Amino acid sequence: MSKTALVTGAASGLGLELSLLLAKDNYNLVLIDIDATNLENAKSEILKINDIEIISIVKNLCDPGVSEVIFNEIKGMPIDVLVNNAGFGLFGKFADTEWRREMDMLQLHVITSTHLTKLVLTGMLERNSGKILNVSSLAGFQPGPLMSIYYASKAYMLSFSQAISNELKGTGVTATVLCPGPTKTSFQEVVSGECSKNKITFNMACADKVAAYGYKAMIKGKEVAVPGIFNKFLSGLPRLLTRKRATSVVRKIQEKNREIPNVNQPVKA
């Protein structure tokens, strides 16, 4: 019997790499992204090497109510795997950054992902089978000055995923949260924007390797997946230091890796 996976942010980066892994395991795919051109390119790339069915849906996942719109479009199609991957970052002091983009970020990272999970989870529980992979970040383990909303929203995704993972024990459904460190995707360019030069070169992982690590953890039903030994160490930093000290360390890292934008030139993402 054919299985279906739904992947958000599927046009590039981790979303595309995870989609390729799912296709290799013969999952039919529902691919969602705001970027119509790259989504079509991703669909073509996947179909070149896999004989599966793909539905591509172009949607802005920052729009209120979009999860229900998507769910209605696929007409109650049974989803065996849900990958909440779509996301973006914004760099700068909270007092100076653009509220519209921060509101979009919260809508995407928190509301859309959570609602989509609730809509899909009902069917999984009825079938006593299913897997959820939520993409959080290493940022989710501590507060992040200069990227305050991003860090906070990823902390939400980490906490939410761990909570429902506990609730789902014994149901046949599992929830895994992937928490990568810096990864070579378009995310870094979006975060840095036009006014903030990105200087991150250390501990930068390849998207295909991060995706493979997260995919393997999802298949095993692992609760939290942090790829990389150094990232595992960093994820435990708040337990080794006071929360205040860990926050100061993150601030220094942010200042070293990116130039703080001029307050009169808001970062675009």
Confidence of residue 17 (pLDDT cuts 50, 70, 90): very high
Max Cα-Cα span within the chain: 57
Q: What is the pLDDT of residues 87-139, one digit of tens each?
A: 999 999 999 999 999 999 999 999 999 999 999 999 999 999 999 999 999 99
Q: What is the pLDDT of residue 81?
A: 98
pLDDT higher than 60, residue 76: yes
- Three-point CA angle 63, 65, 69, nearest 5°: 105
Point out the least confidently predicted range of 32-41, 154-163, 186-195, 229-238: 186-195
Average pLDDT over the chain, rounded to whole? 90
Residues with catalytic roles: 150
Q: Which residues of 184-221 are buried (b: 16+ CB within 10 A; e: fewer)?
A: ebebbebbbbebbebebeeeebebbebbbbbbebbeee
Between 200 and 218, residue with greater pLDDT: 218
- Three-point CA angle 142, 223, 250, nearest 5°: 15
86 vs 216: CA distance, rounded Å: 19
Q: What is the pLDDT of residues 158-199, one digit of tens each?
A: 999 999 999 999 999 999 999 999 987 665 555 545 445 555
Q: What is the pLDDT of residue 253?
A: 85
| Token pair belonging to 123 | 């069917």
Confidence of residue 266 (pLDDT cuts 50, 70, 90): very low
Residue 148 CB neighbours (<10 A): 16
Alpha carbons within 13 A on the beta-carbon side of 215: 20
CATH class of the 3-88+98-185+204-236 domain in this structure: alpha beta
